[in-house]
Amino acid sequence: MATSEINENASESVNEDVNVAEAGTSNLSARSAAATVYYPVAPGQQVNVRRGPNTGSQIVRVLPEDSRIAIRCQTRGETITGPYGTTDIWDSIAPGQYVSDAYVKTGSDGFVTIRCS
């Protein structure tokens, strides 16, 4: 077998492996995107997003009325009373951004996703 034939065969094999890996990555991304659940905040409410799971933490932004959020993880914090009851569960919507679960319609009084570490 000539050297150029070996290089062509090796190149084809590498290209096939890359295509398989890329296909696997896009399938993974599609599955992750499909698994994202967005929860509505209480109607007519502008909700404070805080640096930590308590009202003493800095407000980093305010969610406008009729917002929907994806919850990354949940943790316990200060007990809050809101439109959806009284709870000490806080929803992390981004690193260092928390919203009281009392303002989010999750359909549950408990955890609906993983706990924040």
Residue type, 70: A
Structure tokens at 81: 């009373």
Find tokens 């706990």 and name the residue: 115
C-alpha–C-alpha distance, residues 41 and 95, integer Å? 19
Q: What is the pLDDT of residue 48?
A: 98
pLDDT tens sequence for the chain (117 residues) = 444 444 444 444 334 333 333 344 444 444 445 578 999 999 999 999 999 999 999 999 999 999 999 999 999 999 999 999 999 999 999 999 999 999 999 999 999 999 998
Cα 89-92-93 angle, rounded to 5 deg: 135
CB of 89 within 8 A of CB of 68? no
Q: How far apart are CA 31 and CA 11, in angstroms?
A: 30
Q: Residue 81's beta-bridge partner residues? A: 86
Res 34: pLDDT: 59
Angstrom distance (rounded) from CA 100 to CA 86: 10
Q: What is the pTM of this model?
A: 0.71
What pLDDT is recorded for position 35? 78
Structure letter (DSSP) for residue 17: H
